Amino acid sequence: MTNRTERIRRTTTFAVVERLRAIEPHPDPRIERLEIVELTSGVRLVTGKHYRAGDLGIYIRPGALIPGWLAEQLWLVGRKRAHAWFEVREIPIGLGDGIKVNSPGLWCGQFYKHDTSAESLEHFADMAAAGGVVGMRGEQEGWISWPYWRLEWREGFTLDGHLGIVEAIEPEHVIRHNPAFTARVRQTRPRSSVEEHRLVKPEVAAKTTEVVGPALRGLADASAVEASGATPAVGST
């Protein structure tokens, strides 16, 4: 019989629409381009300075496998690796000789503000070319909407199926390059996500969102045990 821990693991979702509740500086004063964002669930993440308190976004929990196109959008991989899957894990972010802050997951905001770096400006241009709407803040310059955001998404919606996110299943005592791990992961990976076919069937989005109940949303803190690999945010640098 399946025990309680196994049931919880099987019901955990990885991509949930949340609201950004507060923003504070990184505790290391030498790090000027990163900050800490706190979500309504209480999860705290390290991101680039591209977001505003009160906005919605997608929180991706540890233990998820995200498709390459999404990893590229989050600046986790370059275009040459956009075909590969990326596993989300918890990592400490900070300078080698300074204060580090654990970042248990990824944040993908509904809106993005560029900074003065060449990388951020290039990312802003790429988002505009993909369909992002510039000028979403009226007189406040530098903001753009994430081109893949859906206006019908609300706080609590789960988007695993829509974004093509699956669970990274790794047997105990098995190292990452073991063929047994690779074979099991391949069996769980979809060939493509709904988002990759957004121009073909845009109506699919509404059918693939679900609302997370209070109990499941409460897993956000407990689930923050194995999240990601780079500055976790759309365009974070």
Is residue 118 included in any domain, yes or no? Answer: yes
The percentage of the chain sitting over the pLDDT mark of 70, rounded to a whole number, equals 65
Is residue 156 included in any domain, yes or no? Answer: yes
Total structural domains within the chain = 1
User: How many angstroms separate the CA atoms of 169 and 211, rounded?
Assistant: 24
Is residue 234 included in any domain, yes or no? Answer: no
Is residue 144 included in any domain, yes or no? Answer: yes
Q: CB-based contacts of 38: which residues, under 8 Å, 6+ apart?
A: 20, 21, 22, 23, 24, 44
Residue 216's SS3 state is helix
pLDDT band at 139; cut points 50, 70, 90:
low
Would you state the structure tokens that stand for residue 45, as one six-digit string? 């993440």
Using the predicted structure, report yes or no on whether residue 200 has a pLDDT greater than 50.
Answer: no
Residues 162/195, Cβ–Cβ less than 8 Å: yes
Would you state the structure tokens that stand for residue 80, as one six-digit string? 């040459």
The whole-model pTM stands at 0.70
Is residue 232 included in any domain, yes or no? Answer: no
Report pLDDT digits (tens) over 60-81. Answer: 999 999 999 999 888 888 777 8
Q: CB-based contacts of 144: which residues, under 8 Å, 6+ apart?
A: 111, 112, 113, 114, 124, 127, 128, 132, 133, 134, 136
Report pLDDT digits (tens) over 204-228. Answer: 333 333 444 332 333 233 233 233 3
Rounded average pLDDT over 6-25: 77
Domain of 35 in residue numbering reads as: 4-223
CA-CA-CA-CA torsion sign (1, 181, 196, 77) = positive
Would you state the structure tokens that stand for residue 205, as one six-digit string? 């989005």
pLDDT band at 198; cut points 50, 70, 90:
very low
Is residue 233 included in any domain, yes or no? Answer: no
User: How many angstroms separate the CA atoms of 184 and 165, rounded?
Assistant: 15
User: How many angstroms separate the CA atoms of 75 and 231, rounded?
Assistant: 8
Is residue 229 included in any domain, yes or no? Answer: no
The percentage of the chain sitting over the pLDDT mark of 90, rounded to a whole number, equals 50
pLDDT band at 138; cut points 50, 70, 90:
low
Is residue 237 included in any domain, yes or no? Answer: no
pLDDT band at 140; cut points 50, 70, 90:
confident
